[in-house]
Amino acid sequence: MQAGCKPLAWVLLWLAPCAVLAQSDALLQVYQRYETAKAAHQVVQALKYGNEALGLAEAEGGSTRELVQLLGDLGEFAAQAGEDGQAVQF
């Protein structure tokens, strides 16, 4: 692997869970924004993007497994961020 390709490989590995959830480009983009905001501890933005991803996944007919995975992740993140009111909604 060329030296310039290593960062790309890590990004692709990091985004692998996104690929599982992503049914469309729009869903992939909003899920990536969710993960980026989560990593940056931007709680309000992360929950906003997470809710958008959930709405898109539902609208696109995401599998039950995908929806349960996203709901669990959103609930866990919200709880860890001290957003108990939102955590119980998931």
pTM value is 0.69
Say how many domains are in the chain: 1
Q: Which domain holds residue 15?
A: 3-87
Cα–Cα distance measured from residue 43 to residue 57, given in angstroms and rounded to the nearest whole number: 21
- At 46-69, the pLDDT tens digits run 999 999 999 999 998 888 888 899
- Residue 54 token pair: 């959930």
pLDDT score for 19: 47
